[in-house]
Amino acid sequence: MCGIVGLFAKSPEIEADLGRHLAAMLVQMSSRGPDSAGVAVYRNPVPSGSSKLTLYSSDSTERWGAVRDGLCDAFGTCAEPAVRASHAVFVVDADASDAERWVRVSRPDLRVMSAGQVIEIYKEVGLPEKFVKAFALEDLQGTHALGHTRMATESRVTTEGSHPFSTGFDLCLVHNGSLSNHNRLRESLRREGIEFQTENDTEVAAGYLAWRLREGASLEQALDGCLEDLDGFYTFAVGTADGFAVLRDPIACKPAVLAETDEWVAMSSEWRSIAVLPGAAEAEAWEPEPGVVYAWEKALV
Amino acid sequence: MAAVAERAQAAVEVVDLATTPLRELNQRLHDLAGGAPGPRHWRIVNPSGAHAVACGLDAEIEVEIDGHVGYYCAGMNKLATVRVHGNASTGIAENMMSGRVEVDGNVSQSAGATGRGGLLVVRGNASSRCGISMKGIDIVVGGSVGHMSAFMAQTGCLVVCGDAGEALGDSIYEARLYVRGSVASLGADCVEKELRDEHVAQLRGLLAAAGVDADPADFRRYGSARQLYTFKVDNAAAY
């Protein structure tokens, strides 16, 4: 099962209220995924040379100040982290790979949920409604976002196994379906230097995109490659720093609906999530064709 | 008193799904089964993609739905006329027995699946697996249908005024497929067949019933070549 949603703002009004709209969409997908929920929100880009990390701690009494002090010692200045429930977002005066490496070496007990210049990922076990409240999702503004509600099938219900998955800077993928060749593909991607944190099939799809993008493919080319190299059922929604894309496998068993107005582009597993958006009744709505890449890009300010 | 009752039957019963639980609506519609007294004309507003709207009806009533519906709308329909003024998701009119279901917009996969009777009209496009395992339902699609449509279709007619996707009519039995536009590919054991006068007459009737303005002579007919295992008399002993 699982529910996926995506929202891409085309107006400043939607950007200002992105979190509230995303939360409403996510809650509508509770019946498709009551086990865990997660979002990737693209917001507040940091200047070049800096990077943004979303870190997760399983310790509810985590002293995030100590993490900040460590980052300051390593890289100079580091602003106060923005803490949301079990997650904290740090802006570090270093590039993302150095900052991420520091966390892996110095604080292996923490998990890097996302790294880049724009992306923030939050995810947690439990009902979407509880997740929305715990992470004050409605306060967030941003340019675009993806969300996932999980009904776990192939791995345990944990925060780590929740979606979205990010295996490349500012890259995120949410998935409804299941992949059958993920074990072998994971091994070949590891040989290419792509790192994986779980045994989850979706993380492999995210890793595949990260690898293709690293090798110079455009987002559309990388997604076209999925049609050749991934075996299984999938509807994907993909986010990059400035883009948003949707792809269904050629058999297209997994549902998807797209809708667009002058204000926004939205995708969801079901219309219910889109019906809660302003102007939905007048939106142009369609079912994405199997094996066709749909992509939107945003000019970064 | 009789006049009052008649007026009550002619009035339109409006149900707002933003304020009325879906189960309450469906229960009220089910209570009309077997000719029980009650409103004959219904208007449902704010469906907002809800699943199973107006499912399992068994009465000669008319139900208008203003907006998009979710899965299995008008599923198992018997006798009733259900009109969706919007799009419908997976399995519209699934296993319909009789009556009529009309959708102004597009429908998602498995429209009219396993339907045994009645008429399903889609003014827009239908996506994949339209009419899968149809068993007597007639389906008229104003636009195009997606891949694997009429898969294992047994009886009834699928009329497509636009194009058909890949593997049309795969493993088809006795259903008749009429397509006006292109067919991306035919499925296993599905072949083009001659459009004879009897077919033109049948097609004219279906188009008229659906309210679609199209010339039956523009269509091509597809059906079973009857070459698969199940059609071989030598295999009959296996059962």
Mean pLDDT of all residues in A158-175: 88
Question: Is 80 exceeded by the pLDDT of residue A138?
Answer: yes
Q: Would the pLDDT of A82 be above 70?
A: yes
Q: Which two tokens stand for residue B157?
A: 């007619």
Q: Which pLDDT score, from 0 to 100, does residue A45 have?
A: 96
User: B222: part of which helix (H) or strand (E)?
Assistant: strand B220-224
Give the C-alpha separation, A2 to A146, whole Å: 13
pLDDT greater than 90 at residue A76: no
Cα gap A273→B48, rounded to integer Å: 9
Query: Any chain A CB within 8 A of the CB of B185?
Result: no
- A274–B89 C-beta distance less than 8 A: no
pTM of the model: 0.91
The reported pLDDT for the residue numbered A300 is 47
Q: What is the pLDDT of residue B6?
A: 60
- Å from A46 to nearest chain B CA? 38
Select from A252, A271, A285 the Cβ nearest to the Cβ of B70. Answer: A271
Tell me the nearest-neighbour CA distance from B127 into chain A, angstroms.
Answer: 8
Percent of the residues in chain A that have a pLDDT greater than 90, as a whole number: 85
Question: CB-CB: which of A270, A286, A289 is closest to B49?
Answer: A270
Model confidence pLDDT, tens digit, residues A32-45: 999 999 999 999 99
Half-sphere exposure of A281 (CA within 13 A, CB side): 7
For residue B220, with 0-12 CB atoms within 10 Å meaning exposed, 13-18 middle and 19 or more buried, which class applies? middle
Interface contact flag, B127 A257, Cβ < 8 Å: no
Give chain B positions within 8 Å (CB) of A289: 146
Give me the pLDDT at residue A163, please.
87
> Which pLDDT value is given to residue B5?
58
> What is the C-alpha radius of gyration for chain B, rounded to an integer number of angstroms?
19
Residue of B nearest to A280 (CA): B48
Return the number of other C-beta atoms located less than 10 Å from residue A31's C-beta: 14
- Is any Cβ of chain A less than 8 angstroms from the Cβ of B87? yes
CB atoms within 10 A of CB A61: 5
Q: Is B108 on the interface with A (CB under 8 A)?
A: yes
B146/A290 CB distance under 8 A: yes
- Bridge partners, residue A149, by sequence: A3, A37
Chain centroid, CA A90 distance in Å: 17
Where does the pLDDT of residue A240 fall: very low under 50, low under 70, confident under 90, or very high at 90 and above? very high
Phi first, then psi, for residue A20 (nearest 5°) are: -65, -45
Q: Inform me whether the pLDDT recorded for A53 exceeds 90.
A: yes
Report the 10 Å Cβ neighbour count for A11. 12
Tell me, rounded to whole angstroms, the distance of Cα A20 from its chain centroid. 17
**Encoded tokens for A124:** 């947690």
The C-alpha atoms of residue A104 and residue A110 are separated, in whole angstroms, by: 8
Q: Across-strand partners of A150?
A: A36
> A255 contacts in B (CB within 8 Å)?
89-90, 108-109
Tens place of pLDDT per residue across chain B (239 aa): 456 556 555 699 999 999 999 999 999 999 999 999 999 999 999 999 999 999 999 999 999 999 999 999 999 999 999 999 999 999 999 999 999 999 999 999 999 999 999 999 999 999 999 999 999 999 999 999 999 999 999 999 999 999 999 999 999 999 999 999 999 999 999 999 999 999 999 999 999 999 999 999 999 999 999 999 888 888 777 76
Do A271 and B49 make contact, defined as CB atoms within 8 angstroms? yes
- Chain A residues lying within 8 Å of B109, measured CB to CB: 252, 255
ipTM score here?
Answer: 0.87
H or E element, residue A176 = strand A171-179
User: Residue A275 and residue B147: Cβ atoms within 8 Å?
Assistant: no
Let me know: does B10 contact B61? Beta carbons within 8 Å. no
| Segment A247-261, tens digit of pLDDT | 999 999 999 999 999
User: Residue A129 corresponds to which tokens in the numbers above?
Assistant: 């409604």
Alpha carbon of B3: minimum distance to chain A alpha carbons (Å): 39
Report the 10 Å Cβ neighbour count for A273.
32
Mean pLDDT of A214-224: 92
Comparing alpha-carbon positions, the chain A residue that sits nearest to B127 is A287
Of the candidates A2, A78, A172, A226, the residue annotated as catalytic is: A2
Cβ-defined contact of B89 to A257 (cutoff 8 Å): yes
- Measured between beta carbons, the chain A residues lying within 8 angstroms of B53 are none
The Cα A186–Cα A206 span in angstroms is 10
Residue B108 to residue A287, Cβ atoms within 8 A: yes
* Closest-CA residue to A145 (of A40, A232, A14, A242): A40
- The answer to whether B109 faces chain A, any CB pair under 8 Å, is yes
What residues 125-144 of chain B have any CB closer than 8 A to a CB of chain A?
127-128
DSSP B76: T
CA B216, CA A281: separation in Å to the nearest integer? 35
Residue A72 appears among annotated catalytic residues: no
**In angstroms, what separates the C-alpha of A123 from chain B's closest C-alpha?**
26
Q: Report CA Rg, chain A.
A: 18
